[in-house]
Structure 1
Amino acid sequence: MSQLGARLREAREARGLTIAEVASETRILPRYLQALEEGDFEQLPGDVYARGFIRNYAQFLDLPADELIQLYRRERGAPTEKIKVVPAAVPPRTRSCLLPSAFFTFFSILVLLGVLYWIANLAGLTRMPEVAQQPTPTLTVVPPTPFPTVTLPPEGTPPSPLPPTPTPVVTPTSVVIPAEQLDAPLVVVLRVAPNATRGSWMSVSVDGQPAFTGTLLANNSTQPFKAQREVFVHVGDASVVELIVNGKSEGMMGTVPGGVAKRTIYAPNQSGSTP
């Protein structure tokens, strides 16, 4: 019977432990513990693992681990002496022919370059091309332009009156209504609310023709339109624009500040509705 296995079994049984309990504490599989106690080392995964199992098992049972590992080596037939590392012999130095070979290659390249330069010189390839002499530019001095002579009027002559400044013509923002629409059945008035602090951009078409595109300011708050059939209104800020149709207020075109509104207003004699 294996002396190693006997010592391990006696120490385990003296503590009243089972193989399963030892395996739970040491994290070693039960079959490996049983193989150690029975001396069946062929069941172990390898020599390195076997020595690790023995060391952990011995430390758990408070046994001398190194002594048990030496006993394991003797029983398994492994040499107990430490392996000596003998340094390898220094190989003899051999003389390299790299330096003379490199020098010969460099010298050959220099000779080849010299021969190529000599051939190119004979063929005239190394001569610099002659640069045609450019004519020297001639500077032409332009005399300065004399200032015009100003003739002053005699003393005591009254100054000439300045020409009158033309009065700028201001184009009204009202819409020019054609003559055929003067008695139109539909009159639409767009008006910015009196308490509004800003105006609104708008685009208006009368009977399918563009009539007005621009901004109706707060201080220029009314804009009328006359049509025979319909008036299309596109307003950029509906919350400040009031819609008046044939003298009757339809209220503000929107309630959300900055909200865009589009509406088509039809004449009473036309089929359609005011969306």
Structure 2
Amino acid sequence: MSIGNPPEDDSPSLGSTLQQARRAAGLSVEQISTSTRVRIPIVQAIEADDFSRCGGDVYARGHLRTLARAVGLEAEPLVARYDAEHGGRPEPTPAAPLFEAERIKPERSRPNWSAALVAAIVAVVGFAGFTFVHGSGGGTDTAATGQEAAGTSPSPSPSASHRTTSPGPGPSGSAVAGLPKDQVTIKITARDGQSWVSAKDGNGKLIEDGLLKKGQSRTFTDHKRIDLVLGNAGAVQLYVNGKEVKEVGEQGSVERLSYTPGDPQAG
């Protein structure tokens, strides 16, 4: 009696398929990591059929598509095989503990009782002063009437001359014009779900590498260039130099973007 694997186990696994294609293309793990910006430990883990370091099924599918394209393979059959071997397309898993330190815990707003008390005192004093002035003979009205008769108008009060209007939400034309022209400014908001974000400045220095939870935002600036890697790119809202970039990517996709001070020229 011979001992061996059953016939169905003779086909290479997902990781072995990617590894064989990479070697056939004459590429090292380091070269694949540089071209795809998928970190070396994750490439090595995927080639060993270990998807636990991807941070969830959404990111695992994105990495499979990226690595498959880099070694000349069709991506969708590999993704379909991953879904079949891992129980279909489940709901996205919670964020991996790797990025626990990156999470921002918003502070609970507390009522400002001191400000409310001061406002109430000012209102009472103002009402009392108004009543006193108007009850003492209307001297203010007489002075105003005299100015109108002389053909002049009262000079505006200092407070009226310094009033400003608060800008509305969202970038406006003046806000875009006010951004520095010699640098690139990028704002990313996880609008429709969480997204993994990696950002490097123009010198290749890593300035962000973590999970952006739904509703959170990050802003990056640099004088040369900012390179982005966005996981679940369809969930983010992206502004470059004050202008919104439409159609950043699809839900679950991993996108690599690069912007300079003159962008965006195209989404």
| TM-score, normalisation: structure 1 | 0.27
Q: Point out the structure with max Rg over C-alpha.
A: 1
The structure, 1 or 2, with the larger RCO (C-alpha pairs under 8 Å, 6+ apart) is: 2
| Structure in which a larger fraction of residues adopt helix | 2
